[in-house]
C-alpha cells in the first residue's frame, strides 16, 4: 500500500506538471524514477497476449501482466491532481506569473542537469544529438498559437497529439494545446465539467497514448542513448517558453490586478521560487537515491 501511495503521489506530480504549459509530466516521471515502468506498462496494453488472459477469465494474471496496480495508482494521482490543481494553476498564472514560471524554470534546469548526469560514458558525438534536440525544442516552443475550430474531431486530434508529448520528458502537452489554440478551451471545459468535450478529449488521449507508447518503447529499446540525448535538448529548449518574463503583458496585468506598479519585475520572488524549483528536484533525487 505504501508503494502504491508513493506511485500515486508521483502521478499527482505528473498531473500538476501537465496542467502548466511548458512543463512536462514525462519530466516528473523521469525525475521520480517511474518513466521506464510507465512506458513498459502502457506498452503492455498493446500486447494481444495480455488481453487474451482477460478473455480467458484470468483476471489476476491479466492485472499483473498489464501492470494494473502501477497504472491505477498513477492514473488516480494524475486525475486527482488535474481536478484539484487546474483552478490553482489558472489562478497563479494570472495573478503570479513571474513566480509561477520561475518555479518551473528552476525545476526544468535541475531536471536537465540530472538527465545529463545520468548519461554515462559521454562522447564528443553526443553533442550533435543534444544540439539537434535543443534546436527542435526551440522551434516547437517558439511556434505561434493559432486559432482553431472547436469541433469534436479536432478536439479528439488535440487529445491524441497532446498526450504523446505529455509522456516525453521536456515536452509539454499543455503547450501543444496552446500551439493548437485549445489550452483555454480545455481548461474551461475541465473547470466547468463539460463532459462531452472532456470525453472526446480523453478518448483522443487514450488512442494517442497507446499508439505512441508502442513507438517510444521500440525507440528506447534500439536507440536509448540518442533518444535520451535528444530529450535532454528538448528539456533545455523548453526553457525559452517558461522564462518568467517571457510574457510581459501578463506580468503587467497581474501587477494591475494586485494593485502594484505595472512595471514591477518581482526579481526577488522569481529567484526565491526558482531556487524552490531547483530544491524540489534535488530533494526528489536524494530521496530516490536513498530508496535505491
Q: What pLDDT does 23 receive?
A: 63
Assigned domain for 29 exists: no
Residue 172 lies in a domain: yes
Distance of CA 267 to the CA centre of its chain: 26
Q: For the chain, how many structural domains are there in total?
A: 1
Expressed as residue numbers, the domain containing 109 is: 85-291
pLDDT attached to residue 66: 86
Question: Can you tell me the distance from the alpha carbon of 223 to that of 221, in angstroms, rounded to the nearest whole number?
Answer: 6
CA distance 1 to 204: 31
The answer to whether residue 188 sits within a structural domain is: yes
pLDDT at res. 289: 66
How many whole angstroms separate alpha carbon 185 and alpha carbon 150?
A: 8
For 188, residues 6+ apart whose C-beta sits below 8 A from its C-beta are: 194
Q: What is the pLDDT along the chain (292 residues), one digit of tens a residue?
A: 778 888 888 888 888 777 776 567 777 787 777 887 888 888 788 778 888 888 888 888 889 888 888 999 998 998 888 888 777 877 887 899 999 889 888 877 887 787 788 777 778 788 898 899 888 878 877 765 556 788 899 999 989 888 877 676 656 677 778 777 788 788 888 888 888 999 999 999 888 887 776 777 677 778 878 887 887 887 788 788 778 998 898 899 999 988 889 889 999 999 999 999 888 878 867 776 665 5
pLDDT of residue 253: 92
pLDDT score of 290 = 63
User: Would you state the pLDDT for residue 145?
Assistant: 57
pTM of the model: 0.69
Give domain status of residue 20, yes or no: no
In a domain, 196, yes or no: yes
Residue 133 lies in a domain: yes
Q: If DSSP states are collapsed to H, E and C, what string results for the chain?
A: CHHHHHHHHHHHHHHHHHHCCCCCHHHHHHHCCCHHHHHHHHHHCCCHHHHHHHHCCCHHHHHHHCCHHHHHHHHHHHHHHHHHHHHHHHHHHHHCHHHHHHHHHHHHHHHHHHHHHHCCCCCCCHHHHHHHHHHHHHHHHCCCCCCCCCCHHHHHHHHHHHHHHHCCCCCCHHHHHHHCCCHHHHHHHHHCCCHHHHHHHHHHHHHHHHHHHHHHHHHHHHHHHHHHHHHHHHHHHHHHCCCCCCCHHHHHHHHHHCCCCCCCCCHHHHHHHHHHHHHHHHHHHHHHHHHC
Let me know if residue 11 belongs to a domain: no
What is the predicted pLDDT for the residue at 57? Answer: 86
Q: Is residue 235 part of a domain?
A: yes
Amino acid at each position: 500500500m505504501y508503494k502504491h501511495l508513493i506511485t500515486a503521489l508521483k502521478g499527482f506530480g505528473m498531473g500538476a506538471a501537465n496542467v502548466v504549459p511548458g512543463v512536462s509530466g514525462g519530466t516528473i516521471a523521469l525525475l521520480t524514477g517511474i518513466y521506464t515502468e510507465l512506458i513498459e506498462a502502457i506498452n503492455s496494453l498493446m500486447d494481444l497476449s495480455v488481453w487474451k488472459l482477460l478473455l480467458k477469465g484470468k483476471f489476476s494474471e491479466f492485472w499483473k501482466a498489464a501492470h494494473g496496480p502501477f497504472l491505477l495508482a498513477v492514473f488516480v494521482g494524475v486525475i486527482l491532481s488535474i481536478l484539484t490543481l487546474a483552478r490553482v494553476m489558472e489562478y497563479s498564472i494570472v495573478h503570479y506569473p513571474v513566480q509561477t514560471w520561475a518555479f518551473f524554470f528552476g525545476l526544468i534546469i535541475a531536471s536537465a542537469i540530472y538527465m545529463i548526469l545520468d548519461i554515462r560514458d559521454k562522447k564528443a558525438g553526443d553533442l550533435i544529438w543534444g544540439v539537434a534536440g535543443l534546436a527542435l525544442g526551440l522551434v516547437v516552443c517558439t511556434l505561434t498559437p493559432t486559432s482553431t475550430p472547436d469541433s469534436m474531431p479536432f478536439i479528439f486530434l488535440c487529445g491524441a497529439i497532446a498526450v504523446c508529448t505529455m509522456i516525453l520528458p521536456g515536452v509539454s502537452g499543455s503547450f501543444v494545446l496552446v500551439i493548437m489554440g485549445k489550452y483555454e478551451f480545455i481548461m474551461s471545459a475541465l473547470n466547468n465539467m463539460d463532459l462531452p468535450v472532456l470525453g472526446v478529449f480523453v478518448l483522443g488521449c487514450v488512442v494517442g497514448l497507446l499508439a505512441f507508447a508502442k513507438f517510444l518503447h521500440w525507440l528506447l529499446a534500439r536507440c536509448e542513448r540518442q533518444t535520451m540525448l535528444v530529450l535532454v535538448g528538448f528539456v533545455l529548449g523548453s526553457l525559452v517558453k517558461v522564462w518568467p518574463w517571457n510574457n510581459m503583458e501578463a506580468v503587467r496585468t497581474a501587477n494591475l490586478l494586485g494593485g502594484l506598479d505595472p512595471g514591477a519585475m518581482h526579481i526577488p520572488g522569481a529567484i526565491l521560487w526558482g531556487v524552490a524549483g531547483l530544491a524540489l528536484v534535488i530533494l526528489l533525487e536524494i530521496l530516490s537515491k536513498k530508496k535505491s
